[in-house]
Amino acid sequence: METPVQPLEAKKYVIPRYAVDHLLESFQIVRTELSELLDIPDTNQADWSQYAEQWWKKQSEEDQFILRKIITAMGSPVLISNIAVAHEYGLLNTRAVFTSTRLEDPAFLIGVDDEEQNYHVSYVDTGNEILATMVMYLDAGADFGETEFTVRMSLYELIAFFGLMDLYRRSEYIAMLEHARADFRVGYEEIWKSVDDGMQYPDLRWALPFILPQLIHDIQPPTQNDINTAVQSLAQKGVLEWKQDAEAFALTDPGLFAAMSLMKTINKLDITSFGFNDAGKRARKGATFIRTDPILWTVMLDEGEAIFSSIKLDPAVDFVREILSPTIVPAKKATAQKAEAPQEAGQTPMCPKCGKPATWIEAYKRWYCYSCQEYLPQ
């Protein structure tokens, strides 16, 4: 199937890291707290100032016009989005920097070289080109399967869940190498080792290390007892079942479905956006997407819990657009005309399409129908 969008084409610039601080001062750009995320070194020294001026004068007039925009964006960003994509060709890890409240306006992708001497910056005419590239990875040029799968978990349960998924994947690889297949039954120690390995070794080929950056802002690393408790809870949620005769856990049919789907991972996409809330404090919003053949999965955080769910392409694109949109982060207070969280029993609205109760998503201040996989109209 032909992908509906093309990857962005951007003009690229290399900017010495040790020139940016002086140029920000020279251009009289007010620095915001958010610019600290770009790790701009402090270079208030005469030698670095001279170096920065010499570098700037070597740039063409046309490049200086764009470079001034880039440096302004680095000093006063409206939103910074960390974007990581893991696929068969390796890891794409970058930061998107937005300087206005419109995705239609220009944006920048900023990274640092291995020697940490230079910023590598790509200028794109519109932030929608970044969105289109993310959609390309979500689409992946593969067919989409139809399923309804949603599990709400605590963050420790989510860690245990993905530790299990990685453990299943490794067991399948071993079975193929040994030409022997056995029932997947694991105990507490095996699950804990898988989780512990995922936390210690940032191998992004596996699911758990990839989702951890979304969680580290909210929790302390779990202990073995935390994971044991989470495993018991997953059994109560129907993901696992206890095999008393073998003193081990096995995956239920829903758990096995998720595990077998994640065996066929095409790519993984993680997006976290940083801005400021109405109180002037730093705020963030993000989600992880795992594109398998043929299911697209998402992990979304909601008030200290995680929602692991299958998702269709259109609502996934809406999620990404909201995460990348400076009009959403910083978060705005809900107005009287917009949807609000239920205050008492009986206030949960029904989906106008399927008639099933909707779920309030606090992170997005919207009602969502997991059956139709769509937001309710505002």
Task: Decide: 263 and 169 in contact? Cβ < 8 Å.
Answer: yes
- The residue behind tokens 């399967």 is 145
Alpha carbons 95 and 272: distance in angstroms, whole number: 10
Task: Decide: 254 and 239 in contact? Cβ < 8 Å.
Answer: yes
Task: Decide: 339 and 365 in contact? Cβ < 8 Å.
Answer: yes
Structure tokens at 360: 């309030």
At 240, give phi and psi (nearest 5°): -125, 160
- CA distances to 187, 213, 328 from 82, rounded to whole Å, are 36, 10, 16
Domain ranges (residues) in the chain: 11-139, 150-332, 335-378
Residue 53 burial (CB < 10 Å; 0-12/13-18/19+)?
middle
SS3 234: helix
Q: Where are the beta strands (DSSP E) in 127-264?
A: 150-154, 185-186, 240-243, 248-251
Task: Decide: 241 and 249 in contact? Cβ < 8 Å.
Answer: yes
Average pLDDT over residues 201-225: 90
- State which H helix or E strand residue 319 sits in: helix 313-324
Structure tokens at 116: 């940490």
For the cut 90, the answer to whether the pLDDT of residue 187 exceeds it is: yes
- The pLDDT confidence band at residue 332, using thresholds 50, 70 and 90, is very low
- CA distances to 35, 49, 109 from 43, rounded to whole Å, are 15, 8, 23
Alpha carbons 23 and 298: distance in angstroms, whole number: 41
pLDDT digits (tens, 9 = 90+) for 76-118: 999 999 999 998 888 888 999 998 888 999 999 999 988 889 9
Amino acid at 62: E
- The pLDDT confidence band at residue 2, using thresholds 50, 70 and 90, is very low
In percent, how much of the chain has pLDDT > 90? Answer: 58
- State which H helix or E strand residue 367 sits in: strand 366-369
Contacts of 129 by beta carbon, 8 Å cutoff, 6+ apart: 8, 10, 107
For the cut 60, the answer to whether the pLDDT of residue 319 exceeds it is: yes
- State which H helix or E strand residue 73 sits in: helix 61-75
Q: Where are the beta strands (DSSP E) in 190-318?
A: 240-243, 248-251, 265-276, 282-292, 296-302, 305-310
Alpha carbons 255 and 252: distance in angstroms, whole number: 5
| Window from 94-98, 182-186, 293-297, 356-360 with minimum mean pLDDT | 356-360
What does the mean pLDDT of the chain come to? 86
How far is C-alpha 49 from the chain's CA centre? 37
Q: Which residue, among 125, 40, 43, 115, has the nearest Cα to 74 in the 3D structure?
A: 40
One DSSP character per residue, 265-281 reads EEEEEEEEEEEE-TTS-
Alpha carbons 40 and 119: distance in angstroms, whole number: 10
For the cut 60, the answer to whether the pLDDT of residue 203 exceeds it is: yes
pTM above 0.85, yes or no: no
For the cut 50, the answer to whether the pLDDT of residue 196 exceeds it is: yes
- The pLDDT confidence band at residue 166, using thresholds 50, 70 and 90, is very high
| Window from 35-39, 188-192, 356-360 with minimum mean pLDDT | 356-360
Q: Which residue, among 187, 147, 179, has the nearest Cα to 163 in the 3D structure?
A: 187
| Window from 99-113, 171-185, 303-317 with minimum mean pLDDT | 171-185
Cis peptide before 294 (omega within 30 of 0): yes
